[in-house]
A and B are shown apart, each in its own frame.
Chain A
Amino acid sequence: MAREHVIGRVGDLPEGHHRVVRAANRELGVFNIRGSFHALPNLCPHQRGPLCEGGVSGTIDYGPHTDWKLAWIWEGEVVTCPWHSLEFHIPTGQCVAFNDIRLRTYEVRVAEGELRVVI
């Protein structure tokens, strides 16, 4: 059954920051995106790299949905694996390069000044 695991204080993870934590015997990356908290496994499905130790940025998009113009999208919402640069959209876990790869995401709750991840 899913339960909450305390992973730190809210004040320790300001907006635009992320870090790797351990909870329930697994490593997760926890991200503060404009005051909203997200968590992903710290495990890249490509070659098992420490995904969430990578940097966070936006990314580039292009196609009919951008009116065939290069667009900078998802500013602050994309984590790039430090090993081979595979990108993931943090709020959804969606791999940017491969439509069929989506990481599990974990709910992060805020209560009593604590960050709690639901596993």
Chain B
Amino acid sequence: MATDVSPRETGGGRRETLADLFVVDADVHVHEDPGELAEYADPPWDVALREIAKVEERYLDLPGISPRAEYRVPFPGGSNRRQIVTSARELRGGLDALHVNHAVLFPDHLLSLAMVRDPEFATTLAVAYNRWLYERWLTEEPSLSGALVIAPQNPIAGAEDIRRYAGRREFVCVYLPASGLKILYGHELYDPVYEAAAETGLPVVIHSVEAVYPAFPFQLEQFRTSLAVHALAHPLSMIANLVSMLETGVPIRFPELKIGFMEAGTAWVPFLANRLDKEYVERRREVPLLQETPSRTMRRFFYGTQPVEEPERRSDVVAQFELFDGENQAMFASDWPHHDFDHPQHVFGLPFAPEARRKIMGLNAARFFGLDVPG
């Protein structure tokens, strides 16, 4: 493990600090209380949400909304971080402490939305969440932007919701929940979502979550430990959905659509790009739509940094970013306040060139989400 605290650190000259930069956090999580969502949900689902609100919540684990089987053996101590934020003011205070200027908000429980089995309830949850986020968070604090959630169980309704908020700058992307997804995001079933997103200028962001769920690409019920499940859930989910989207030519069929991948680190990106390029040589006729190597298409996608890799040699992160043009395509993301968040100071402190650091810490995200960069 590379550590941040080293006796070899020295001062010397006025160096750019984190506070000097425009820092955008591409992935921050708000906590959606089911009782609050009930106020924004169409009947009769408001009744169900009030019932769910009576159940004691566990971390990202709530019957009906985030149906995650708990698999940790409950010894005391250890990895028990359970931080949540429940108001815009509380969140703004937390982000100030992290030196984050602007943040894009993703949900807590609705990370598991793809696993909700009743499609009508899933749709209701997404619509209610977007209303709730808009009123309670986004209009409260202009430095907080929203990811508009769609339920993959009902892409038509998702497209309607995207158009409902068209032109309102409070939402800066569409969130595609990927954990436990039954049909990967390359399927034409989701074309209405991509049409609406491209039409309204919103990028789409794929974000998974750790869950034991017997759906490809997971099959994580085979593993015994959280170490295994958490290590694999995020990157495998990104890899599967990215390949699916390339296979059906989503980035070609919707050339205006910007596509981002969140919370899987970035080490998988060069691996996958090289692997697909190798296949492309032999099997181009299967994907004639692509017209270029997969790696070139992948260089137009954006990637959240978190959980940033922590090799023993910190400079290896810089080398790894060069392999996928991370200088221009990587967006700092903290995942705060979740258990595995990255502190911006840590990513800032990696040995990137100053210009690359400015882009990674905020300017790339501003370009992706369409945010104004101050001064």
Measured CB to CB, the residues of A under 8 A from B are 43-49, 55-60, 72, 78, 80, 82-85, 87, 97-98, 101
Contacts A47-B342, A58-B77, A83-B341 known; list 5 others, CB within 8 Å: A45-B5, A57-B76, A72-B75, A85-B80, A98-B1
In angstroms, how far is the closest chain A Cβ from the Cβ of B332? 14
B313-357 interface code vs A (CB 8 A; 1 in, 0 out): 000000000000000000000000001111101100000000000
Expressed in whole angstroms, the Cα–Cα distance for A44 and B76 within the complex equals 20
Q: Are B78 and A57 in contact (CB under 8 A)?
A: yes
Chain A residues, CB < 8 A from B345: 47-48
Q: Are B77 and A43 in contact (CB under 8 A)?
A: no
Q: Are B78 and A80 in contact (CB under 8 A)?
A: yes
Chain B residues, CB < 8 A from A78: 77
Q: Are B5 and A48 in contact (CB under 8 A)?
A: yes
Contact of B3 among A59, A80, A101 (CB under 8 A): A101
Expressed in whole angstroms, the Cα–Cα distance for A27 and B299 within the complex equals 45
Measured CB to CB, the residues of B under 8 A from A are 1, 3-5, 75-81, 339-343, 345-346
What is the number of contacts between chain A and chain B, taking CB atoms within 8 Å? 57
In the complex, residue of chain B having the shortest beta-carbon distance to the beta carbon of A43? B5
Chain B residues, CB < 8 A from A44: 5
Known contacts A55-B77, A78-B77, A80-B78; decide if A85 and B339 are in contact (CB<8 Å). yes
Per DSSP, chain B at the interface is: loop
Q: Are B77 and A48 in contact (CB under 8 A)?
A: no
Expressed in whole angstroms, the Cα–Cα distance for A78 and B77 within the complex equals 8
Chain A residues, CB < 8 A from B343: 47-49, 83
Q: Are B77 and A56 in contact (CB under 8 A)?
A: yes
Expressed in whole angstroms, the Cα–Cα distance for A72 and B78 within the complex equals 12
In the complex, residue of chain B having the shortest beta-carbon distance to the beta carbon of A78? B77
Expressed in whole angstroms, the Cα–Cα distance for A80 and B81 within the complex equals 10
In angstroms, how far is the closest chain B Cβ from the Cβ of A88? 12
Contact of A46 among B3, B77, B341 (CB under 8 A): B3
Contact of B340 among A43, A80, A84, A87 (CB under 8 A): A84
Q: Are B80 and A47 in contact (CB under 8 A)?
A: no
In angstroms, how far is the closest chain A Cβ from the Cβ of B23? 16
Chain A residues, CB < 8 A from B80: 55, 80, 85
Expressed in whole angstroms, the Cα–Cα distance for A48 and B345 within the complex equals 9
Expressed in whole angstroms, the Cα–Cα distance for A59 and B77 within the complex equals 8
Q: Are B81 and A46 in contact (CB under 8 A)?
A: no
Expressed in whole angstroms, the Cα–Cα distance for A77 and B76 within the complex equals 12
In angstroms, how far is the closest chain A Cβ from the Cβ of B321? 19
- Interface core residue of B75, B78, B79, B346 (most chain A CB under 10 Å): B78
Chain A residues, CB < 8 A from B5: 43-45, 48
Expressed in whole angstroms, the Cα–Cα distance for A49 and B81 within the complex equals 13
In angstroms, how far is the closest chain A Cβ from the Cβ of B310? 8
In angstroms, how far is the closest chain A Cβ from the Cβ of B241? 27
Contact of A87 among B3, B4, B78 (CB under 8 A): B78
Expressed in whole angstroms, the Cα–Cα distance for A46 and B340 within the complex equals 12
Ordered by A's residue number, 25 sampled pairs between the chains whose C-beta atoms are within 8 Å are A43-B5, A44-B5, A45-B4, A46-B1, A46-B3, A47-B346, A48-B343, A48-B345, A48-B346, A49-B343, A55-B76, A55-B77, A55-B80, A57-B76, A59-B77, A59-B78, A72-B75, A80-B80, A82-B81, A84-B340, A85-B79, A85-B81, A87-B77, A87-B78, A98-B1
In angstroms, how far is the closest chain B Cβ from the Cβ of A105? 16
Expressed in whole angstroms, the Cα–Cα distance for A81 and B80 within the complex equals 10
